[in-house]
Amino acid sequence: MNTTILDGKKLAADMRADIASQVAQLKAEHGVTPGLGVILIGVDPASTSYVTAKEKACEEAGMYSQDLRVPANTTQEEALALVQGMNADPRIHGILVQLPLPKHIDESAVINAIAPEKDVDGFTPVNVGRMMIGQTCYLPCTPHGIIQMLLKAGVQTSGKHAVVVGRSNIVGKPVAHLLMRKAEGGNATVTVCHTGTRDLAAFTREADILVVAAGRPDTVTGGMIKPGAVVIDVGVNRIPDATKKCGFRLAGDVDFESAKEVASLITPVPGGVGPMTITMLLYNTLESARRACKGDG
């Protein structure tokens, strides 16, 4: 199989260059710098690394970035106060609360406190509801990034059978909706598989487009893939590896080596979907700043 590796890093770099150009134009025409506020509660290595990457991406795009990093024993009331402070700050056009939160904090309460017009992660019930009924909203970043990857790669989704493995609120459910909506990058017939699905391979082998967001390495192998299918691997798993300086290697939810022998197009891990997530966060923050200039925030 002549398989194409979909380079998410290059696509993200191209999109970020365009975003930086539009940020500069917004500054020149309206004197407004798009601002992203990030709240990180506790010290989780993966979350800390991710937040640092977002901060760097904002700087490279010419955006204003405000990081609030607070200890794990921060109370729920204090967390809500941090969100309300960013809601009221005109310099902040987008708010991101880094998940997961410590167990003593109600995640839903904190997310729901974000003003919908600043919910650039697309997680609040208002934006989720708007997405479901086709109204203008901020689309969740990873699912939106996946759709952009398919579009940029010239993948035809209309009339195709898409199978999504995973039903999380962050990836599985929203990407299934985006794939089936009547819009560019959608109009597919969608099947959603999960931990309750019997004989997963029977479904994945029928997929023209296979999106795997199961949160478990090697959930899908080459023998479970329809020849010529497009495979989007969303998983990021840390596998112990003594040969690596850091002590681990990153792997997706798809066994890449066997899958690349069958798929027509596949995303690698790392360097596939991951870079697009932060890119779409910048995209949404820029859009929020534009709306604020028009008084639509």
β-sheet bridge partners, residue 114:
none
Catalytic residue among 98, 119, 160, 255: 98
Measured CA to CA, the distance from residue 201 to residue 237 in angstroms comes to 21
- pLDDT, residue 24, reads 98
Using the predicted structure, report yes or no on whether residue 296 has a pLDDT greater than 80: no
54 is annotated as an active-site residue: yes
Per-residue pLDDT band for 241 (boundaries 50, 70, 90) equals: confident
What contacts 161, CB < 8 A, 6 or more positions away?
Answer: 188, 189, 190, 191, 206, 207, 208, 209
- Does this model's pTM top 0.85? My answer is yes
Q: What is the DSSP string of the chain?
A: --PEE--HHHHHHHHHHHHHHHHHHHHHHH----EEEEEEES--HHHHHHHHHHHHHHHHHT-EEEEEEE-TT--HHHHHHHHHHHHH-TT-SEEEEPSSPPTTS-HHHHHHTS-GGG-TT--SHHHHHHHHTT-S-PPPHHHHHHHHHHHHTT---TT-EEEEE---TTTHHHHHHHHHSSSTT---EEEEE-TT-SSHHHHHTT-SEEEE--SSTTSB-GGGS-TT-EEEE---EEEE-TTSTTSEEEE-SB-HHHHTTT-SEE--SSSSSHHHHHHHHHHHHHHHHHHHHHT--
Residue 2 has pLDDT above 70, yes or no: yes
Mean pLDDT across the stretch 69-82? 96
pLDDT at 234 over 80: yes
Measuring CA to CA, how many Å separate 60 from each of 9, 18, 65, 216?
15, 12, 11, 33
Task: Identify the band that residue 258 occupies on the pLDDT scale cut at 50, 70 and 90.
Answer: very high
Q: Is the model's pLDDT at 297 over the cut of 70? A: no
Question: Taking 80 as the threshold, does the pLDDT of residue 46 lie above it?
Answer: no
Look at residue 45 in the predicted model and tell me its pLDDT.
78
Q: What is the mean pLDDT of residues 8-35?
A: 97
Integer Cα distance of 217 and 59 in angstroms: 33
With a cut of 90, say whether residue 11 has pLDDT above it.
yes
Delimit the domains of the chain by residue range: 31-114, 141-274
Query: Are 31-114 and 141-274 the same fold in CATH?
Result: yes
Mean pLDDT calculated for residue range 47-70: 92
CA distance linking residue 234 with residue 231, whole number of Å = 10
| Per-residue pLDDT tens over the stretch 155-211 | 999 999 999 999 999 999 999 999 999 999 999 999 999 999 999 999 999 999 999
Residue range 141-274 in CATH 3.30.70.260: no
| Residue 296 vs residue 50, higher pLDDT | 50
At 90-127, the pLDDT tens digits run 999 999 999 999 999 999 999 999 999 999 999 999 99
Tell me which CATH code domain 31-114 carries: 3.40.50.10860
Catalytic position from the list 119, 121, 233, 255: 121
For the chain, give the percent of residues with pLDDT over 90. 88
